Structure 1
Amino acid sequence: MRHFTAVVKPTSGSSGSESLVPLARALREGGAELEVEYSRSLGHARDLALRAAERGRVVLGVGGDGLAGRVVGALAGTDAVAGIVPAGRGNDFARALGLPEKVADLAEVLLHAEPVKTDAIEIESAVHQRMAVLGSVYAGVDALANRHADDYRALGGAASYYMGGLRAVTTWRPAHYRITIDGTPHERTGYTVVAANSGYYGFGRQIAPGASVRDGVLDVVVIHHASRLLFFSMMNELKTGRHIRRPEVEILHGREVRIEADRALPYGADGEVEAELPVTARVLPEALHLLC
């Protein structure tokens, strides 16, 4: 019998705490024991996850990528077992793990799957000191888009991301980046740099189709300077990953990536973490033990 602690952010509303109800029923009917902890903030969620893990519990992050990233990321480098209950707007890391959407199927995974060793990302900047996240670190127009998407939250899901992206791109001017990958510098000018562990971000967009959460490296996607019209075309191609065929898109690989820019630019991670460049992202191979 597994003993679960589910960490939920109450402000997630029906997409968080309420969505846990049918899953909790399925887990208990399957013989598991489940307790629920309600977090006051992402920092509090991290603390709750650590305390539950210290008691030998299987920790569940219930919510979107930000909440799941903070809960599960807190356990990076430990022997704790964790799971993700996707209940947010994007659910991109859950998508990369191939987690099922149906409650019964997800309960089956959480009840019976063996933990799989999975990579995480450690980020380091003036604001974040060696904090683990799950999916990707992105610096540029997409970080602005994610910030703006919160202003359109009432539209829900993909629509909020689309409107946030539209607003970000129409006001964007090219940035000059210095990207240092495993000690080798690369100078580029463009829209964004993404250090990806997961292939998905921004509500199912396949920013790095070749990325794997189990290969021990980061896929570094650079979108070079192009016309806004072309960039909007590439935004549509992110749905299928076709954008990587364009000459304006470059993909590099490495274990440690430092991103700097010629002006103050925001970076984001897992849809929630936000600060300004520079930032260093390094892969943490097999740092997590996830039910997936």
Structure 2
Amino acid sequence: MPHFAKTLFIINPKSGRQNKLNIQDLIRKHLPEDSFDIVETEFAGHATELARQGAKDGFRVVAAVGGDGTVNEVARGLLGTRAALAIIPKGSGNGLARHLNIPLEVPAALDLFHNSTFSRIDTCTINGHPFFCTAGFGFDGYISSIFARNARRGLRSYVELILKEFTKFKPGKATVQLNHENFETDCFVLTFANASQYGNNAYIAPMADIRDGLLDVCLIRELSLQKAMAVSYGLLTKKIATSGHAEFFKTQEITAQTKEQMPFHADGEYVGEACEFHVQIKPLSLEVLIPAS
């Protein structure tokens, strides 16, 4: 990175991991005092406002200090600006940070400011809502809607919720249009991937390239308990594409309709319900700070 480009750190004080760390003291320890400002979020959506204002105020880099939700909010505020996104991971999933090889420990992520470079990545929207890793509907959207109301956070709570709700969820029908083709399908999961993973090294689209201008679409039509175990193994070993239980497509744009409204997520965060989904990719539309190597 050019010598300590002026950086705005946006901290989500409620993010799940490493809450005992004094993030502000660590920032002051790792960077020259005149090279940054620090603000904290106060409500949902606040990080987007702060990031957008930071870009207007001339900050070259705006750093999201938090989990995937905070990263999504900050990145949304930087779209269409000249500011670059940096990530200090402090969540449980850290999907975009992992894809970009950002160190997961806060001190190591701050050390990155001494040896980094700028790069551009694709961004996407689902029904107009920006996302940077994955979005989708089906079982993952259903889980996101329940998890949003869950007082307990973290990976363990998420896994417990999946195990509890798996047998309750019934796949619906969807009509899908992509690459000038239409087809109807059962739909347990329909995931739109810009990056390779959900987070926690769960690779839903291990072949995804965040700079190729294409969405990687993963369709799982139906899933018995036995198949779910095979898919879970595939997620953790990057072998889901060869598991025989998932289908993959590459496209720049996709539309899907369902008969009933279904919950959907963007970067793991519950967005709402819809019965029509329009997903697009915007090539190389966000600048990010990544390791120089």
TM-score using structure 1 length:
0.89
Is 2:190–2:218's contact at 8 Å kept on the other side of the alignment? yes
CA contact (8 A) 1:216 1:283 kept: yes
Query: Which blocks of at least 5 consecutive residues in structure 1 are unaligned?
Result: 125-129
The secondary structure found in structure 1 opposite 2:236 is: coil
Runs of at least 4 residues of structure 1 off by over 6 A?
Answer: none
Contact 2:67/2:92 (<8 A) preserved:
yes
Within the candidate set 213, 216, 219, 1:219 is matched to 216
Query: How far apart are residue 15 of structure 1 and its match?
Result: 4.1
2:38 pairs with one of 36, 39, 47 = 36
Contact 1:60 1:84 in 2 (8 A): yes
Superimposed CA distance per residue, residues 4-34 of structure 1 (whole angstroms, 9 cap, x where no aligned partner): 11112232266469452354034325x7622
- Structure 2: unaligned runs, 5 residues or longer: none
3-state DSSP of counterpart to 2:49 = helix
Q: Among the aligned pairs, what percent are the same residue?
A: 26
Residue identity in the other structure for 1:75: L
1:7 equivalent in structure 2: 10
Say if 1:63 and 1:88, in contact at 8 Å, map to a contact too. Answer: yes
Write the letter of the residue equivalent to 1:216.
G
More displaced stretch, 186-195 vs 273-282: 273-282
Residue equivalent to 1:178: 175
Mean Cα deviation higher: 114-123 or 95-104: 95-104
Among 111, 122, 125, the alignment partner of 2:125 is 122
CA RMSD for the aligned pairs?
2.3
1:218–1:253: 8 Å Cα contact kept in structure 2? yes
CA 1:6–1:174: 2 relative to 1, 3 Å: same
SS of the aligned residue for 1:2 comes to coil
| Residues 286 and 32 of structure 1, relative CA distance in 2, 3 Å threshold | farther
Equivalent residue, structure 2, for 1:201: 198
Aligned length: 285
Measured at CA, do residues 36 and 252 of structure 1 come closer, stay the same or move farther in structure 2, by a change above 3 Å? Answer: same
Structure-2 residue corresponding to 1:148 = 146
Cα–Cα, structure 1 residues 182 and 79, in superposed 2: closer, same or farther, change >3 Å?
farther
1:242-273 Cα offsets, whole Å, 9 max, x none, are 22213321000101122322222111011224
Is residue 2:267 matched to residue 1:270?
A: yes
**1:109-155 CA distance string (max 9 Å, x none):** 2344221011111222xxxxx3322111111101222333456664x
Q: What is the DSSP-based 3-state SS (H/G/I as helix, E as strand, rest coil) of the residue aligned with 1:164?
A: helix
* Letter in structure 2 aligned against 1:254: T
Supply the distance in 1 between the matched residues of 2:102 and 2:13 (Cα, whole angstroms): 23
Q: Which amino acid aligns with 2:51?
A: A
Q: Read off the aligned partner of 1:290 and give its amino acid letter.
A: V
Deviates more, 1:245-254 or 1:1-10: 1-10
- Which of 101, 106, 112 is matched with 2:104 structurally? 101
